[in-house]
């Protein structure tokens, strides 16, 4: 696979603050690659360096084969950047913003198409300040795509959106990738990273602590599976003898078994052998939250 981003030992400090300590990763053509980490981890600083918006203290970067430190003009033509909230004047209309951005980029796409594709046609004459959060996000994405980028940077695109708007935004991000554009997604939402990313890097205190597919990370770092069911049978201590079972916690009728490997099948078979057939037997899969906890010892949210 072709490499769209290569970052080696990137470092960026602000005075005494080490925002990006030592970051290295690669992104292949056509991936949705995520940088996932808590607020203040250094994600935005890192992607701003990649886009040539900040100069790093040290490290090597190649974006589409271009060094953003020395050749930002060539790079800008080929990447799309999501704007920050304050970047558009309140009174600019949707169509004016698209038209303006298109006029700044030679070889840009037909913005009328983009406007329809991103569900903004009805809002074409509305001012930016009158748009809902979700509509603003869609406009930012449309603007980031005006120059037909090969790679698009989306930084906390769904922050501030309600759950319905967030799910719509996820579909839009998948649509970008399906049209052949590589996506670098910055987020502090675990579920978002889990749902969208082909691969992701977990960032903490300016460093990448793990890189893999969401499922790969879960398999490596959080292989503990919970099996949950209810029963009024008092003594179930025989479950402890199963090799797949680590601990059993009981609260009233609710039993939580923590184990590994095929623990669900083992517990189900053992329960059935004792004549217990719980209707609510289920597993709880570990999430990226558990991965983060296992690696860093902390939680993602303050
Ligand atoms: N322009 C800046 N000047 C000084 N410190 C900054 C600046 N931007 C970010 N920082 C600091 O750098 C660290 C990383 O911030 P940031 O890259 O925004 O992280 P994230 O995007 O993961 O939330 C934080 O401690 C933040 O306070
Ligand atoms: Mg940020």
Ligand 1 atom at shortest distance from the alpha carbon of 156: 21
Ligand 1 atom with least separation from CA of 155? 21
For atom 4 of ligand 1, which residue has the closest CA? 14
Give 297's pLDDT tier (boundaries 50, 70, 90): confident
Which secondary-structure segment (H or E) carries 249?
strand 245-251
Give residue-wise pLDDT tens across range 132-164: 888 888 899 899 999 999 999 999 988 878 888
Phi-psi category of 79—alpha, beta or left, where left has phi over 0 and alpha has psi -120 to 50?
Answer: beta
Dihedral angle at the C-alpha atoms of 73, 79, 82, 87, nearest 10 degrees?
20
Banded model confidence at residue 106, pLDDT cuts 50, 70, 90: confident
Q: pLDDT tens across 108-117, in order?
A: 788 998 899 8
Domain boundary among 212, 236, 271: 212
- What number of H helices and E strands is found in the chain? 10, 13
For residues 49 and 170, membership in a common domain is answered with: yes
**Is the CB–ligand 1 distance for residue 43 below 6 Å?**
yes
Report pLDDT digits (tens) over 248-294: 999 999 999 999 889 999 999 999 999 999 999 999 888 898 899 88
- How far is 227 from 163, CA to CA, in rounded Å? 28
In a domain, 299, yes or no: no
Each residue of 191-222: pLDDT tens digit?
999 999 999 999 999 999 999 999 999 989 88
- Looking at the fold, whether 234 and 259 belong to one and the same domain comes out as yes
E-state strands within 15-115: 17-28, 32-36, 58-63, 79-81
Q: What is the pLDDT of residue 302?
A: 57
Taking only the tens place, the pLDDT of each residue in 18-68 is 999 999 999 999 999 999 999 999 999 999 999 999 999 999 999 999 999
Residues 266 and 144 in one domain: no
Burial-class residue 26 by CB neighbours within 10 Å (0-12, 13-18, 19+). Answer: middle
Q: Is 156 in the pocket of ligand 1 (CB under 6 A)?
A: no
148 vs 105: which has the higher pLDDT: 148
- CA 152–ligand 1 middle distance (angstroms): 21
Which residues form the domain of 32? Answer: 3-212
Ligand number with the minimum distance to the CA of 39: 1
**pLDDT attached to residue 260:** 85
CA pair distance 89, 82, nearest whole angstrom? 16
Last residue of a domain, one of 212, 243, 272: 212
CA of 42 to the centre of ligand 1 (A): 6
In a domain, 298, yes or no: no
- Contact predicate 134/158, CB 8 Å: no
User: Considering only CA atoms, which residue is closest to atom 26 of ligand 1?
Assistant: 40
């Amino acid at each position: 696979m072709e490499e769209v981003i290569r970052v080696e030992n990137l470092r960026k400090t602000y005075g005494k603050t080490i925002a990006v300590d030592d970051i290295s990763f690669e992104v292949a053509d056509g991936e949705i690659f995520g940088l996932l980490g808590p607020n203040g981890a250094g994600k935005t600083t890192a992607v701003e360096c990649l886009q040539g918006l900040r100069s790093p203290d040290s490290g090597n970067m190649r974006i589409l084969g271009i060094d953003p430190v020395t050749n930002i003009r060539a790079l800008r033509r080929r990447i799309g950047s999501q704007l920050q909230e304050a970047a558009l004047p309140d009174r600019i209309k949707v169509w004016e913003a698209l038209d303006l951005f298109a006029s700044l980029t030679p070889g840009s796409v037909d913005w009328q198409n983009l406007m329809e594709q991103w569900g903004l046609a009805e809002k074409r004459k509305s001012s930016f300040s009158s748009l809902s959060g979700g509509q603003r996000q869609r406009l930012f994405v449309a603007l980031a795509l005006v120059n037909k980028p090969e790679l698009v940077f989306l930084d906390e695109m769904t922050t501030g959106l309600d759950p319905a708007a967030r799910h719509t935004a996820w579909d839009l991000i998948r649509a970008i990738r399906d049209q052949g554009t590589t996506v670098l997604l910055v987020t502090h939402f675990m579920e978002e990273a889990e749902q969208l990313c082909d691969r992701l890097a977990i960032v903490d205190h300016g460093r990448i602590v793990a890189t893999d597919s969401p499922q790969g990370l879960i398999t490596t770092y959080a292989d503990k599976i919970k099996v949950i069911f209810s029963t009024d049978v008092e003594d179930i201590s025989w479950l402890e003898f199963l090799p797949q079972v680590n601990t059993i916690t009981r609260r009233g009728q609710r039993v939580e078994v923590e184990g590994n490997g095929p623990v669900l099948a083992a517990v189900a078979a053992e329960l059935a052998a004792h004549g217990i057939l719980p209707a609510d037997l289920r597993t709880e899969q570990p999430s990226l939250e558990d991965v983060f906890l296992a690696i860093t010892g902390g939680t993602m949210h303050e």
